[in-house]
A and B are shown apart, each in its own frame.
Chain A
Amino acid sequence: QSALTQPASVSGSPGQSITISCTGTRSDVGGYNFVSWYQQHPGKAPKLMIYDVSNRPSGVSNRFSGSKSGNTASLTISGLQAEDEADYYCSSYTSSSPYVFGTGTKVTVL
């Protein structure tokens, strides 16, 4: 099972919106609505930000939103803030694994 493909880095200025993509196949992202997103600050454990493509757990800011089109899922951060600078990982249920993670994206706030 190959890792899902994410851009290595994405950057934006405070207040802007950025979008991180997560590309898989019909066997994972495209075949199921079970995509989740995690935020990881340096030296810390990951934190669940989005589950089931577009749902936010209680306590997660509504500046974070998720969507999916075909084999690609996306995480959008609106109103970018300094505290959003972190690594972000997508994950999907797969027919074979049953879980696969993305390659990770480093978000930089300029």
Chain B
Amino acid sequence: EIVMTQSPGTLSVSPGERVTLSCRTSQSVRTNLVWYQHIPGQAPRLLIYGASTRATGLPARFSGSGSGTDFTLTISSLQSEDFAVYYCQQDNSWPYTFGQGTKLEIK
């Protein structure tokens, strides 16, 4: 089973800042990496798939990059609605696994 490691666990940032979240996999997943956003009490939301393809309707301030074992999700200018927990998931090897999440909180 592929182990997903996200860092940091929590990130305190101010609106308007640029943030980069990291996801590492225990073995190569090529570009089969997905990012989700979860605001507590709401359904998780698909953000990025294929490591860098934005989901329909996702604002351009969100971008994903990486391949192999190292991936990043970048939010270029944080908006108030972006404070949430972000999860990565690999869809390369069965069973498909998730990271522990990175929480973005308001500084």
**Chains A and B are bound partners:** no
Where the two chains meet, the residues of B that have a C-beta atom closer than 8 Å to any C-beta of A are none
